[in-house]
Amino acid sequence: MNDPDLVVVHRFNTSEEAELAKSALEAAGIDAMVRRDNGGGMQPALSWAGAGVEVIVRAEDTQAARDVLDIPAKQA
């Protein structure tokens, strides 16, 4: 997924954290997606090995998403 209109708002260490963040964003009216590389569920350690689990939003929602998640721009 290389859509220029989508931005990774934050990388989390676990799918659970990313899904909670996605839920918080959606509750605030911000569409969000979770992207992970875990070998189709067969290699969950790939996420722990540095790839992380990304929460993605539309570019125009980036600042609002960071505000909801209370994430400084440097940590995204």
Strands (E), the chain: 6-12, 32-36, 53-58
Q: Which structural domains are found in the chain, ordered by start?
A: 6-75 (3.30.70)
* 58 and 8 Cβ atoms separated by less than 8 Å: no
The residue-averaged pLDDT of 7-36 equals 94
pLDDT at 1: 43
- Checking if the pLDDT of 50 tops 90, the result is no
pLDDT tens-digit readout, 63-74: 999 999 987 666
pLDDT at 52: 82
Three-state DSSP class for residue 39? helix
Packing angle of the helix pair 15-27, 62-69 (nearest 10 deg): 110
* Residues ≥6 apart with Cβ < 8 Å to 72: 66
Residue 28 to residue 44: CA distance in whole angstroms = 29
